[in-house]
Amino acid sequence: MPRLAAGALLFDRYRLQRRIGRGGTADVWQARDERLDRTVAIKALHPHLLPDAASRARFAAEARAAAGLSHPAIVPVYDVIEDTDPPAIVLAFVDGSTLAQRLRHDGAVPAPVAASIAADVAGALAHAHRAGVVHRDVKPGNVLIDRDGRVQLVDFGIARLLADAAARETVAGQVMGTLRSMSPEQLAGASVAGGRDLSALGVVL
């Protein structure tokens, strides 16, 4: 795989344009799909999170589950690339900002707007839970708002994989996750279920 840099062509298809995000788990790039002539987002996971074939297989399974979700408030997954270093997910490009960025820039939003955002996210979660997919990391940074005000939730399923990967590097008994949005059950070490997503959504609201 070529070095991640503007102008690089990934997988003989995606031309990187600019990096739009960087975190502890992945780099996110805006790219052009030269086969379908559309803008996409590519999330290239850091290699240390998927050190072996078993973890890559789990990544592929989680990503495919997320790709099976179809809802107006869920960012679509277009492609899953598992046999490269690093593995990557190709998503629809959302031209806008995260709720976290909006809160940092503008402060708390009016209550009716907050309720509308939460209702959209709740609809996305209900759809995913019916399909057996739990997000595990509902937070303002994973809620995208485009320039038309449309709300979409990103990173379905992948959060579970990354949490599992992080847990392998953590001492026994340490709880993983975004502390600000953890449910009481999660803090107590209980198994993950859809209720955790709803608890996290309440914290976001």
Q: Is the pLDDT of residue 187 over 80?
A: no
With a CB cutoff of 8 Å and minimum separation 6, the contacts of 2 are 8, 9, 10
Strand-pairing partners, residue 9, are 15
Catalytic residues: 137
With a CB cutoff of 8 Å and minimum separation 6, the contacts of 137 are 155, 159, 162, 163, 177, 178, 181, 200
Q: Given pLDDT bands bounded at 50, 70 and 90, which one contains residue 201?
A: very high
76-90 pLDDT, tens per residue?
A: 999 988 777 778 889
Considering the entire predicted model, what is its pTM?
Answer: 0.80
Q: What is the DSSP letter of 49?
A: G
Given CA atoms 75, 80, 43, 131 in this order, what sign does their dihedral have?
positive
Backbone angles phi, psi at 174, to 5 degrees: -85, 135
* Residue 157: per-residue pLDDT: 57
* Residue 173: per-residue pLDDT: 45
Q: Is the pLDDT of residue 66 over 50?
A: yes
Could you tell me the domains of the chain? 9-92 (3.30.200.20), 96-204 (1.10.510.10)
96-155 pLDDT, tens per residue?
A: 999 999 999 999 999 999 999 999 999 999 999 998 888 888 999 999 999 999 999 998
* Residue 185: per-residue pLDDT: 61
**Residue 156, both tokens:** 């379905």
* Residue 136: per-residue pLDDT: 82
3-49 pLDDT, tens per residue?
A: 688 999 988 899 999 999 887 778 899 999 999 999 999 988 887 77
Query: What's the length of the chain?
Result: 205
How far apart (Å, rounded) are the C-alpha atoms in residues 118 and 121? Answer: 5
* Residue 172: per-residue pLDDT: 43
* Residue 105: per-residue pLDDT: 95
* Residue 190: per-residue pLDDT: 56
